[in-house]
């Protein structure tokens, strides 16, 4: 998501005069996303809390029956499709943007395959791979847990890397973080890194029955 947000600004052709609006959009978007996440967590605790760990999507849908009744499966399916559609676009685009930028090749969703073969090729391949995995009998819940463990390893590294870059005036000039933003961003990065580390440790310990 971090790479996607930054690359999306470039892909839209934003100019320095647009930076205040882009920053406001990023801040408001982050706040709104956190509100939605908290709402999901609270709703999940209310509906599923106390039923024990869920091992499959079917169990998650079943846990919603006391709240949604006979439409529980349909409700869960609609929510899952919405989340999958978002992730199916953002995750492949993020990876394609990052690899395309590292390779120094054309990277834009407005380009054709002829103009940006690596970028659009990677994007298409990831969608096909995701669809293929989804059609296999893989345990989706365990797959999600595994990706969270991977995120716990990668997120702190990526966030520190981005923080260093956004603080450098030699890279961003006047658009670099001000002292106030540096303090706020550092506090957020430290907090997110700590929570990611805790989640990572708890998940690994649970695999060995220690948590």
Contact criterion met (CB below 8 Å) for 47 and 66: yes
The token pair that represents 46 in the structure block: 């209310």
**Mean pLDDT, to the nearest integer, of 126-143?**
82
pLDDT tens profile 89-115: 888 888 888 888 888 888 888 888 888
Distances (CA, A) of 150 to 49, 153, 199, 203, 204: 25, 5, 11, 11, 11
Query: What mean pLDDT value characterizes the chain?
Result: 82
- Determine the Cα–Cα distance for residues 145 and 135; give it in Å rounded to an integer: 18
All structural domains of the chain with their residue ranges = 1-137, 139-206
């Amino acid at each position: 998501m971090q790479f996607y947000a930054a690359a999306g600004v470039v892909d839209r052709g934003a100019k320095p005069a647009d930076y205040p609006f882009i920053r406001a959009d990023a801040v408001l978007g982050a706040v709104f996303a956190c509100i939605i996440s908290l709402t999901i967590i609270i709703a999940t605790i209310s509906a599923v809390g106390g039923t024990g760990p869920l091992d499959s999507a079917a169990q998650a849908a079943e846990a919603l029956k006391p709240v949604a009744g006979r439409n529980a499966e349909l409700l869960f399916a609609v929510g899952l499709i919405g989340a999958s559609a978002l992730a199916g676009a953002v995750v492949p685009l993020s990876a394609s943007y990052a690899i395309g930028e590292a390779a120094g090749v054309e990277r834009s969703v407005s380009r054709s395959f002829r103009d940006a073969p690596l970028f659009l090729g990677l994007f298409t391949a990831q969608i096909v791979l995701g669809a293929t995995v989804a059609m296999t009998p893989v345990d989706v819940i365990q797959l999600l847990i595994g990706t969270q463990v991977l995120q716990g390893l990668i997120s702190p590294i990526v966030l520190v890397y981005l923080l260093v870059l956004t603080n450098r005036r030699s890279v961003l000039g006047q658009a670099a973080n001000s002292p106030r933003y540096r303090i706020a961003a550092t506090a957020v990065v430290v907090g997110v890194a700590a929570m990611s580390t805790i989640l990572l440790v708890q998940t690994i310990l649970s695999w060995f029955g220690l948590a």
